[in-house]
Amino acid sequence: MLRRFVAATALGIAIALLLVSTLTAQTNYKVPRLPDGHPDFQGFWNNTTYTPLERPKGIDREFFTKEEVLEQMKRAAAEEGEQTTPGTIADVHYDFTQFGLDRSQAPVAVNLRTSLIVDPPDGHLPPMTEEGKRLNAARAEARKRAGAITDAAQNQPLSVRCILMDRDGPPMLAGAYNNNYQIVQAPDTVMVLVEMLHSPRIIPTNARPALPASIRQIEGSSRGRWDGDTLVIETTNFTDMFMFAAQGASADMKLTERFTRISDDTLMYRFTVDDPKVWTRPWSAEVPWKKSIGPIFEHACHEGNYSLTNLLRGAREDEKRAREGKGRP
């Protein structure tokens, strides 16, 4: 039953991908417009991807062929649907497939690129500056001083504490599942509702002045404008707790996101990170967003109800057993 299910789903993906790639091949695509004349991006989108941010070692080209990608995505769908081996760390988890959370059960846009990073052309993050290395070493030291992540709830990452996820960003990057977004446009504002943690990004597009540099926010301060048929969003004023710190970025990062609709089914999301404190040059990545199905269901995150308690109590139990000489840590 499982194999049939996976095979049927994988076939569905293959067909969907072929359809998408056919659409993206259209060069005469006419973007639908709203009454105010701007392109219509409204609706539901999904940025699930199989493509890593950086190009893995051993790959020296920018693109795979369509056949290679389709074959590998079918293989990945089958692998994600397979059972894990009992007694392994990977097995201590619920089955993604049973809960519809493997990538084969989400809309996935075709991406022939070997990395999400498109610039530098080698698909890798640029070299880090000395100041960037010092900043990240200091962050690592501060985490070490705070103790283990199971020492206190506050030591758990923001994502586990249901405060902010990688899907929120910005920049908005997919996780394993729940990668849906809803875009709503008004003449002077664009709203991007992020499914996971249910946070809306409300972005003025009416030339509202940027916040003063002294006012910092965990998701920064975003201002939008139209560059032809592309929506450009510039974000600054981050705090040091923002999500992209995990990639090494500083709170002084300037982020430029660009949305362009390239087919009925595909919204191209490109972002540029300009952070001279950390990287020797700006870098850019590109992620196609695939049209999804609405509505977006509320994602009120309740990790504190059970799991956080279980994590902390589990660690205390381990410590007690260790004191009694019965096991880890």
Within positions 157 to 216, which residues make up the interface with other proteins, using CB under 8 A?
Answer: 159-160, 162, 175-178, 180, 195-196
CB-count burial class (<10 Å; 0-12, 13-18, 19+) for 184: middle
Say if strands 283-291 and 43-46 run parallel, antiparallel, or are unpaired: antiparallel
Q: How far apart are CA 223 and CA 220, in angstroms?
A: 10
In angstroms, the CA 31 to CA 34 distance is: 10
Which CB atom, from 88 or from 214, has the smaller least distance to other proteins?
Answer: 88
Q: Helix H segments across 33-100?
A: 66-81
Sole window of 25-33, 154-162, 182-190, 208-216 interacting with other proteins (rule: CB under 8 A): 154-162
Given the complex with other proteins, which of 177 and 238 has the nearer CB atom? Answer: 177
Residues in 56-115 at the binding interface with other proteins, rule: CB under 8 A: 56-59, 64, 67-68, 71-72, 75-76, 80, 83-84, 86-89, 91-106, 114
Q: Which of 28, 85, 154, 310 binds other proteins (CB under 8 A)?
A: 310
Pick the closer one to other proteins by CB: 4 or 145.
4
Which one of the spans 204-212, 254-262, 272-280, 316-324 is the region binding other proteins (CB under 8 A)?
A: 316-324
Question: Distance of CA 116 to CAs 62, 93, 173, 224, 269, Å?
Answer: 10, 28, 10, 23, 10
> Which residues, numbered 2-31, are part of the site for other proteins (CB under 8 A)?
2, 4-5, 8-9, 12
Q: Is 138 in the site for other proteins (CB under 8 A)?
A: no
Q: How far is the CB of 182 from other proteins (least distance, A)?
A: 13
> Which pair of structure tokens corresponds to residue 111?
């991406």
Measured CA distances, 273 to 163, 259, 296 (Å) = 23, 15, 29
Interface mask (CB under 8 A) for other proteins, residues 215-254, using x and -?
----------------------------------------
- Could you count the other beta carbons within 10 Å of the beta carbon of residue 40? 13
303 binds other proteins (CB under 8 A): yes
How near is the Cβ of 17 to other proteins at its closest, in Å? 15
CB count within 10 Å of CB 13 equals: 21
